[in-house]
Amino acid sequence: MTDSLLSLQQRHIASLQAYYESLMAHFDIDAIALYSGHASAFFADDHYPAFQAFGHFVHWVPLPHAEHCWLVIAPNTKPTLYLHAPEDFWHLPTQLPDEPWCDAFDIIRISDIAPPAVSPNTALVGDINALPAELRAQLKGIDAPEALYWALDEQRMHKSDYEVACLREANRRALDGHRAAEAAFFGAASELDIQLAYLAASRQRESQVPYQNIIGLNAHAGVLHYQHYDVQAPYQRHSLLVDAGYRFRGYAADLTRTYAGPDAPSVFADLITAVTNIKDTVIDAMAPNVAFLDLHTLMHRYLAEVLVAHGLFHGSAEQALEAGITRAFCPHGLGHSLGIQVHDVAGKRLTDGTPCPSPSQHPALRLTRTLAPGMVITIEPGCYFIPMLLEPLRQRGLPLNWALIEELLPCGGIRIEDNVLITPNGRDNLTA
Ligand code: GLY
Ligand code: MN
Ligand code: MN
């Protein structure tokens, strides 16, 4: 790890300490105890799913898979990290790296899952209800007020220089995977083999990815969160959509690319270029004080123009927008905040915690805020051919080019996704 990243991390932890101290004063509490959480075994089984630690814990401690750990923060003192690392001959106990962040904490290794002894005026933050009842009964603190959660979430929305460096590195490594996935597709690989090529090139195992990679060939590219990997390569290759990331020190990349295969109609490649241009044009409009909803609306306007220009809609862009046609071609939001969680926290609350819901016409929009420096946002326009969304347009007799849509259905759809930092004067594309 580079010295500069590690020193940025020390400053990141120091600024968290200052922020948490301001919250303890504001809420009149002695301490905040963050619980990392733990996995639960499958029903009637002794096997566990892959575990991801609570985001506010990972905000401090770069151990994104650490279970049964606690971090207790109090004013004017080093935070205490209760590190669950029991002697175990079945598993390797959590190992600490030789990195300076360890010196920022008093580290106490614990071998059982009993919670730490904290003062009664300690706010407990995390999935406390998942603890067995007898352990919950031992906990002295108080349930954290909802407003404390909002304040902690709000801090996560504004990335420190350390977090931005992690997100940039996560992007770099994810791009290694995307290059390998593209090569595998042009080598006629199956979805499973594309997935394996992605994991190999980005150097990660499946339990470490920040979200399950979406690797859709042909019509599967039109299933927004397609969750399988066909083992056999299809006979015809129309398209590939890869939505896949990387988790670096707890921070997620979330990137999507779409490719036209040898069996796609030529208009599909043109549409990929057009959606890529929408992505770039929207990114150029990103800056502090811009409302994300306005960018989402801009994406729909450009998409309407693309549908008209490529002969998919016989009418004007205004008519396409008014009739809600672009929402059938792109039913998800333009993007979301990105950080420790792929769909990061605080996307739909104002800075003081007031709810800021998505408008009823765009229920899937995950970010309704005004952009500010330090936010890291995905921009992911799409254009899909999803029969269940297009069929109602046919029923309404709208002037769409159904012959062309039939030709494009086997291609599934297109999504192009980059990760962008808002800077004081504009933006910095972490994917570029
Ligand atoms: N990978 C999920 C998303 O793009 O939001
Ligand atoms: Mn994605
Ligand atoms: Mn995304």
**3-state SS of 217-259?**
EHHHHHCCCCCCCCCCCCCCCCEEEEEEEEEECCEEEEEEEEE
Q: How far is the CA of 46 from the centre of ligand 1 (A)?
A: 31
List all residues whose CB is within 6 A of at least one atom of ligand 1: 211, 243, 254, 342, 380, 417
Q: Which pLDDT belongs to residue 239?
A: 98
N-terminal to C-terminal alpha carbon distance within the chain: 22
Q: How far is the CA of 365 from the centre of ligand 2 (A)?
A: 14
Extract the tokens encoding 26: 């504001």
Q: Which atom of ligand 1 is nearest to the CA of 335?
A: 5
Q: Which atom of ligand 1 is nearest to the CA of 336?
A: 5
Tokens 């089984």 appear where?
45
119 plus 225 within the same structural domain? no
Residue 309 maps to a domain: yes
Q: Which pLDDT belongs to residue 341?
A: 98
Q: Is residue 213 scored above 90 in pLDDT?
A: yes
Task: Render pLDDT for 292-314 as a digit per residue (tens, 0 to 9).
Answer: 999 999 999 999 999 999 999 99
- CA–CA distances in Å: residue 306 to residues 275, 299, 321, 323: 8, 10, 12, 15
Please answer whether residues 378 and 338 qualify as being in contact, where contact means their C-beta atoms are separated by less than 8 angstroms: yes
Q: Which atom of ligand 1 is nearest to the CA of 254?
A: 1
62 plus 173 within the same structural domain? no
Angle at 148 between CA 142 and CA 153, to 5 degrees: 135
Task: Render pLDDT for 89-146 as a digit per residue (tens, 0 to 9).
Answer: 999 999 999 999 999 999 999 999 989 999 999 999 999 999 999 999 999 999 999 9
Q: Which atom of ligand 1 is nearest to the CA of 214?
A: 1
Residue of 279, 312, 311 whose CA lies nearest to 296: 279
Residue 256 maps to a domain: yes
Three-class HEC string of 136-177: HHHCCCEECCHHHHHHHHHHHHCCCHHHHHHHHHHHHHHHHH
Last residue of a domain, one of 117, 144, 171: 144
Last residue of a domain, one of 86, 110, 144: 144
Task: Render pLDDT for 246-277 as a digit per residue (tens, 0 to 9).
Answer: 999 999 999 999 999 999 999 999 999 999 99
13 plus 126 within the same structural domain? yes
Q: Which atom of ligand 1 is nearest to the CA of 225?
A: 2
pLDDT interval class at 198 (50, 70, 90): very high
Average the pLDDT over 31-47 and give the result.
Answer: 97
254 a known binding residue?
A: yes
Residue 154 maps to a domain: no
In angstroms, the CA 155 to CA 153 distance is 5
243 a known binding residue?
A: yes
324 plus 409 within the same structural domain? yes
pLDDT interval class at 3 (50, 70, 90): confident
Best of 213, 246, 254 to mutate for ligand 1, by most ligand atoms within 8 A of CB? Answer: 254
Please answer whether residues 404 and 267 qualify as being in contact, where contact means their C-beta atoms are separated by less than 8 angstroms: yes
Which residues are near ligand 2, the ion (C-beta closer than 5 Å)? 243, 254, 256, 417
Residue 153 maps to a domain: no
383 plus 239 within the same structural domain? yes
Residue whose CA lies nearest to ligand 1 atom number 3: 254
Q: How far is the CA of 54 from the centre of ligand 2 (A)?
A: 21
406 a known binding residue?
A: no
374 plus 254 within the same structural domain? yes
Residue 155 maps to a domain: no
Residue 151 maps to a domain: no
87 a known binding residue?
A: no
Q: How far is the CA of 223 from the centre of ligand 1 (A)?
A: 12
**Percentage of residues of the chain with pLDDT beyond 90:** 99
In angstroms, the CA 202 to CA 91 distance is 25
Residue 302 maps to a domain: yes
Q: Which atom of ligand 1 is nearest to the CA of 211?
A: 1
Residue 105's domain spans which residues? 3-144
Residue of 299, 303, 333 whose CA lies nearest to 320: 303
Residue whose CA lies nearest to ligand 1 atom number 4: 254
Q: How far is the CA of 258 from the centre of ligand 1 (A)?
A: 14
CATH code, domain carrying 338: 3.90.230.10
Q: How far is the CA of 291 from the centre of ligand 3 (A)?
A: 18
Q: Which pLDDT belongs to residue 1?
A: 83
User: Beta-carbon neighbour count of residue 277 at 10 Å?
Assistant: 14
Q: How far is the CA of 27 from the centre of ligand 3 (A)?
A: 34
187 plus 330 within the same structural domain? yes
Best of 279, 417, 418, 420 to mutate for ligand 1, by most ligand atoms within 8 A of CB? Answer: 417
Residue 354: phi and psi, rounded to 5, are -60, 130
Task: Render pLDDT for 333-367 as a digit per residue (tens, 0 to 9).
Answer: 999 999 999 999 999 999 999 999 999 999 999 99
HSE-up of 379 (CA within 13 Å, CB side)? 34
Task: Render pLDDT for 389-399 as a digit per residue (tens, 0 to 9).
Answer: 999 999 999 99
| Average pLDDT score over the chain | 97
101 plus 165 within the same structural domain? no
165 plus 68 within the same structural domain? no
Residue 26 maps to a domain: yes
Q: How far is the CA of 7 from the centre of ligand 1 (A)?
A: 31
Q: Domain tally for the chain?
A: 2
Q: Which pLDDT belongs to residue 6?
A: 97
pTM over 0.85: yes
Q: Are strands 80-84 and 70-73 parallel, antiparallel or unpaired?
A: antiparallel
Please answer whether residues 53 and 67 qualify as being in contact, where contact means their C-beta atoms are separated by less than 8 angstroms: yes
Residue whose CA lies nearest to ligand 1 atom number 5: 343
Last residue of a domain, one of 144, 174, 194: 144
297 plus 269 within the same structural domain? yes
264 plus 169 within the same structural domain? yes
CATH code, domain carrying 127: 3.40.350.10
pLDDT interval class at 236 (50, 70, 90): very high
- Ligand positioned closest to the Cα atom of 255: 2
24 plus 80 within the same structural domain? yes
336 a known binding residue?
A: yes
